[in-house]
């Protein structure tokens, strides 16, 4: 049984899926000296943004607050980070993006891709159709 951590409680009503992802999941042995990454599929990005900010998360990257809506419409996901507990959220309202992300996660785990560059190449190929350079 997969029990979600306490930090997910404010987001449960807003998400149709919350999945642990990243090198703590895909690598064996898991990388524990890194952030904890979670993929969140939401049906209401605006409400998720509001709750995330209230819960102490910051939008990833250098996006001014007045440009958040424009950024959301130009990307398939938005990343959020909470420094107090090293949590990263990858938030999307695209079921197709979430499906691809989880597929890439499962392949990275099966192949035990320990090198970060290999994991990045895999995700670039699966999510965006980018070939390795």
Q: Quick check: is 35 in a domain?
A: yes
Is the per-residue pLDDT at 72 higher than 80?
no
Structurally, how many domains does the chain consist of? 1
Q: Quick check: is 112 in a domain?
A: no
Mean local confidence (pLDDT), 8-14: 93
Backbone angles phi, psi at 37, to 5 degrees: -105, 140
Q: Quick check: is 79 in a domain?
A: yes
> Given this model, what pLDDT does residue 1 score?
42
Mean local confidence (pLDDT), 112-118: 96
Is the per-residue pLDDT at 69 higher than 50?
yes
d(CA 107, CA 73): 28
d(CA 51, CA 60): 15
Structural domain containing residue 49:
8-94
pLDDT digits (tens, 9 = 90+) for 22-57: 999 999 999 889 999 999 999 988 899 999 999 999
Q: Are the C-beta atoms of 57 and 81 separated by less than 8 Å?
A: yes
To the nearest whole number, what is the mean pLDDT of the chain? 88
Is the per-residue pLDDT at 18 higher than 50?
yes
Residue 17's CATH number: 3.30.460.10
Whether the CA torsion 60, 62, 65, 68 is positive or negative: it is negative
């Amino acid at each position: 049984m997969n029990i979600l951590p306490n930090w997910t409680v404010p987001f449960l009503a807003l998400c149709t899926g919350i999945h642990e992802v990243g090198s703590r999941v895909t690598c064996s042995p898991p990388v524990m000296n890194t952030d904890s990454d979670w993929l969140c599929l939401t049906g209401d990005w605006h409400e998720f943004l509001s709750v995330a900010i209230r819960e102490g998360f910051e939008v990833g990257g250098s996006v001014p607050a007045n440009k958040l809506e424009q950024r959301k419409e130009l990307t398939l996901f938005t990343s959020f980070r909470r420094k107090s507990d090293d949590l990263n959220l990858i938030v999307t309202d695209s079921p197709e993006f979430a499906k691809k992300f989880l597929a890439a996660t499962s392949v990275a785990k099966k192949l035990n891709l320990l090198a970060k560059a290999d994991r990045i190449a895999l995700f670039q190929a699966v999510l965006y159709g980018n070939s390795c350079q």
